[in-house]
Structure 1
């Protein structure tokens, strides 16, 4: 998982306004907590948090924390795969962001099971805004990750298409994961909370949504 520590003014800045930096950080922490707990329930040989910032009480046991590399998001994603490949050579790796607290363990456990992995080179989780929320590689290497990710324009409506083009150009067989909505706007936050009403994220959103500017 790649994430930012939920520090006011550094996370979910697209929610401000209407949210305050403190409200946006509280939503980010809730999303981070939900996602970490979900991923903790998915069978895995190793759980790695590639973090920009310092871990807090939201970090569950069983996770190894490493700092994010420098550079743009494309370079940081590639570096995360390279780090995973060094820690566990020849093991598949799935990279997930912190913007989809509605993610459930079954969404990943079934497609990533040993039976379903046969013949698959990569896993791709599309986001509703044209980006992606997850990318997996069956045989990640530093070189492959750089070729797939470095130079892909990030945070644009064409990000996902550009990445899929890279995957196709390398002849990789891609399995698609469910499409999810990233929490990038207040409208999206309400949409995500409605799909996961019992999540920490939804609970936190309800505590701040009473203010007129955050009603969505």
Structure 2
């Protein structure tokens, strides 16, 4: 049974996408976070996994589509929280975050195949990673990996290889962390909710609005 895990934070002002402020206000940053999360969940819902799980810090909102089992994140550092998400899975699992609204089902499809790989790894442009798939969800593969650093992805990938796993690589994607990231991702995925929200907010700013 393959599980698709989406790890996310409730998009609340002052808690979500704080690195977007400035130039965006906390409310605008939260609205961009909500759009990114809605896009991510809509894509994940179209991926033919056996289970779709939202591992959430906070409470669900109207952005949550049907078909997801919602579980709370554990406390602790990000490595601990990701490890706990994998530990709750009975079989192969693919984990993604909410920071890459440009993903499509086609982007994720290879990582649902375990015939030739023990793990899948999606590197992020900032040095982190946006996806991690494990045929055998061993929490020890994540515990102790330093998170939110330029070498996070390299350390996590090395951990997988050191465990003797055959690792398949997914495309390098840009996380939405800064205003520059947001602009690039909106340009890359013009048909998304995220792009529409970004266009609305930047047009309002250019026109002298909030």
1:200 aligns with 2:193: yes
1:185 aligns with 2:143: no
Aligned match of 2:117 = 120
CA distance in 2, matches of 1:113, 1:175: 11
Please tell me the root mean square deviation across aligned C-alpha atoms, in Å.
1.4
| CA contact 2:49–2:112 (8 Å) conserved in 1 | no
TM alignment of 1:71-86, pairs within 5 A: 71-83=76-88, 85=89
Q: Which runs of 5+ in 2 are unaligned?
A: 1-5
Per-residue deviation, 1:18: 1.1
CA distance in 2, matches of 1:93, 1:13: 29
Among 42, 61, 64, the alignment partner of 2:66 is 61
Aligned match of 1:28 = 33
1:170 aligns with 2:169: no
Give TM-score, length-normalised by structure 1: 0.91
Give TM-score, length-normalised by structure 2: 0.93
| CA contact 2:94–2:112 (8 Å) conserved in 1 | no
Q: Note closer, same or farther for the CA distance 1:169–1:63 as it changes in structure 2 (3 Å cut).
A: same
Aligned match of 2:3 = none
CA deviation map 1:71-104 (0-9, x unaligned): 0111100011112x2xxx2x21000000000001
Q: Which runs of 5+ in 1 are unaligned?
A: none
Aligned match of 2:102 = 102
CA distance in 2, matches of 1:152, 1:168: 14
